[in-house]
């Protein structure tokens, strides 16, 4: 208890907490987008509950993984290796989890885009309303596991256990996770409302999820030290991905503002045409 209190009195610990909180929020953006799109298939009164449940489960998952660091580090060790004339590498538990997560994200994103383009069976949604809630929660939990691995490994890589000590380092990481998820809980509702009210933003969000899914596949290959025809698969820097996401989002926001400005002009033109027609009559 004394060590925990000392942690909160240290300026260096607060800098680490704020840095980790910021990273947790950035890494959680894709989680909120996925949460918004999947929960939008539920009835309006169940959506906030699904978002809250999903984010709280994500927080619990990350805290649980933080207390299983020794087991988590075991997942970075090779399970089996292979070496052929054109392909070699070593598969780890971590790379397998990220691979499955990437494939799941790609499948969900592509299928959601397909449903939106082809149309949704509203009658089917009403019939499966109760069971679909838990189906949505299971999907959120499945993806939370993958995102939690990424988040926890980032946190462990940033916080030095030698410098802070085990209890202080754990306190810093758990505090950062709780603050980050609390911020996401605060903004999940407005973000979901904004995404659901604008179909183009929703489609953009699904495109982002495809991008993140591809990034996860590349990261899985990188963690497996995959070598194809003598070329090692490199990791896609997350900064590039998030920059592309924010840039595309800003362009779409400008397009939305432009569309709002052009609507009154179109209405005025149509009114003038109607007046001319009535005058001619």
Residues of the chain with pLDDT under 70: 1-9, 119-131, 154-166, 263-281
Q: Report pLDDT for 130.
A: 45
Verify that 61 and 112 share a domain, yes or no. Answer: yes
- End-to-end CA distance of the chain, in Å? 87
Is residue 103 domain-shared with residue 8, that is, in the same domain? yes
pLDDT tens digits for range 111-125: 888 887 876 544 444
Which two structure tokens, joined as six digits, stand for 148? Answer: 């939690």
> Residue 132: what pLDDT?
75
Determine the length of the chain. Answer: 281
Cβ pair 133, 46 in contact under 8 A: yes
Whether residue 52 is found in the same domain as residue 153: yes
Verify that 162 and 187 share a domain, yes or no: yes
Q: Tokens representing 43?
A: 């009835």
Identify whether residues 72 and 179 lie together within a single domain: yes
Whether 158 and 263 map to the same domain: the answer is no
Give me the pLDDT at residue 86, please. Answer: 83
209 and 271 fall within a common domain: no
**Beta strand ranges found along the chain (DSSP E):** 78-83, 87-92, 227-228, 231-232
Domain count, the chain: 2
> What pTM does this model have?
0.72
The pLDDT tens digits for 133-169 are 778 888 877 777 777 777 777 666 666 555 556 677 7
């Amino acid at each position: 208890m004394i060590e925990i209190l000392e942690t909160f009195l240290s300026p260096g610990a607060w800098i680490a907490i704020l840095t980790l909180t910021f990273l947790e929020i950035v890494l959680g953006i894709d989680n909120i987008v996925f949460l918004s799109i999947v929960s939008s298939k539920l009835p309006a009164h169940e959506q906030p509950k699904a978002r809250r449940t999903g984010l709280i489960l994500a927080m619990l998952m990350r805290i649980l993984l933080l207390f299983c660091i020794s087991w988590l580090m075991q997942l970075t060790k090779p399970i089996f290796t292979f070496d052929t004339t054109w392909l070699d590498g070593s598969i780890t538990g971590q790379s397998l989890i990220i691979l499955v997560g990437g494939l799941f994200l790609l499948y969900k994103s592509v299928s959601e885009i397909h449903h939106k383009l082809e149309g949704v069976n509203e009658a089917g949604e009403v019939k499966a309303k109760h069971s679909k809630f838990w189906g949505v929660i299971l999907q959120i939990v499945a993806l939370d596991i993958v995102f939690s691995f990424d988040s926890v490994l980032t946190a462990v890589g940033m916080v030095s256990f030698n410098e802070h000590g085990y209890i202080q380092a754990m306190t810093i990481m758990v505090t950062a996770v709780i603050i980050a998820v609390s911020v996401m809980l605060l903004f999940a509702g407005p973000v979901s409302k904004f995404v659901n009210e604008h179909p183009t933003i929703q489609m953009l969000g699904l495109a982002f999820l495809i991008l993140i899914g591809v990034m996860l596949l590349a990261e899985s290959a990188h963690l497996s030290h995959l070598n194809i025809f003598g070329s090692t698969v490199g990791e896609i820097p997350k900064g590039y991905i998030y920059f592309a996401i924010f840039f595309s989002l800003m362009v779409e926001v400008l397009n939305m503002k432009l569309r709002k400005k052009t609507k009154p002009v179109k209405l005025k033109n149509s009114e003038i045409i109607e007046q001319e027609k009535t005058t001619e009559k």
